[in-house]
Amino acid sequence: MIQAGVVGATGYAGAELCRILSGHPEAELAAVSSVSFEGKALSEVYPAYFHMCDMICGTEEQVVEKSDVIFAALPHGLSQELAAVCWKAGKVFIDLGADFRLEKEEEYQEWYANSFTHPELHKEAVYGLPELFREKIKGKKLIANPGCYTTAVPLALAPALRKGYIEKDGIIADCKSGVTGAGRKPTQGNHYPELNESFTAYKVASHRHTPEMEQTLSHIAQSPVKLTFVPHLLPVNRGILATCYARLKEGVTMEMLESAYAEAYGKEYFIRLLKKGQVANIKNVRCSNFCDISLHMDERTGTFIAVSAIDNMVKGAAGQAIQNMNLAFGLEETAGLKLFPPAF
């Protein structure tokens, strides 16, 4: 059994990692850590885990020592030093934060006000969006795990961009997120009286996930892509709904688009292409590693609309991280992740 450790196990993404790993057929939870709850059982922090995951939260050092793979569920800026320790120890390191996602240090400095403290490790890191970069991930020891928006938007647009069916400028990503995407630490914005009966945009055209999405889409298009990204906060716990708009190239038909998406995703277990007339809905992917995608066309304006839905804590965080672990260790990619959503 692969020994898996989670640093930052009491945050939402870390706790979700522990939940999914507990049912993995070829990996087991070896150690967990938490600065805020060191010495406490995970089930004391999350009573739902009682009798299922009662592991005591230790230190980062204990996690590294006991584990073959270390998942870092930490805020940005805290993973680089830990990655260096794991690299020196020959351990697989999967970062759920943003420290290794951006390829250009100047962009990381601009959007995260931080620098590459270990430039040599950034050269080794691979971007862990399996459906787009699977072959680069296999067997790697340092994986930058994408987050929620940065998974939902590229998956929605990649096949159309790759085929050259849409214009590379003027793309709009209009996205909605459940409140768990804001993390476990309370803020005024996710305080219940502020959030309930509310729906609002935030960080309009200034969200730090923008350059990451542009980076991924530019790789797919093999030339620079810019987009306008507007996120919104939904009064629900889980889910990302990404409604993406792009101008169609002249002569492109719905049949051509459907064929492109079937070619790209037809054999992908975790991507479900919805039938004509259906629309992706966050309810239908809850607690699963699926990404549902529906395709639409506004013939009157020549606009392509792709709607994707994921669970931000699974495909947008912990589930994708385990998918990357499976690829890194040569396991069946779906191992431990064949969780289908509850019906209601």
Catalytic site residues?
148
Q: Parallel, antiparallel, or unpaired: how do β-strands 2-7 and 69-72 relate?
A: parallel
> Tokens standing for 172?
């709009």
Cα separations in angstroms, 30 against 4, 38, 205, 294, 297: 5, 16, 41, 39, 49
> 3-state DSSP call for residue 268?
coil
Round to whole Å and give the CA distance between 292 and 16: 20
Indicate the SS3 state at residue 190.
coil
Distance CA 112, CA 108 (A): 5
Helix axes 319-328, 130-137, angle to 10 degrees: 30
Residue 110 contacts by C-beta under 8 Å, 6 or more apart in sequence? 211
Structure tokens at 125: 């890191």
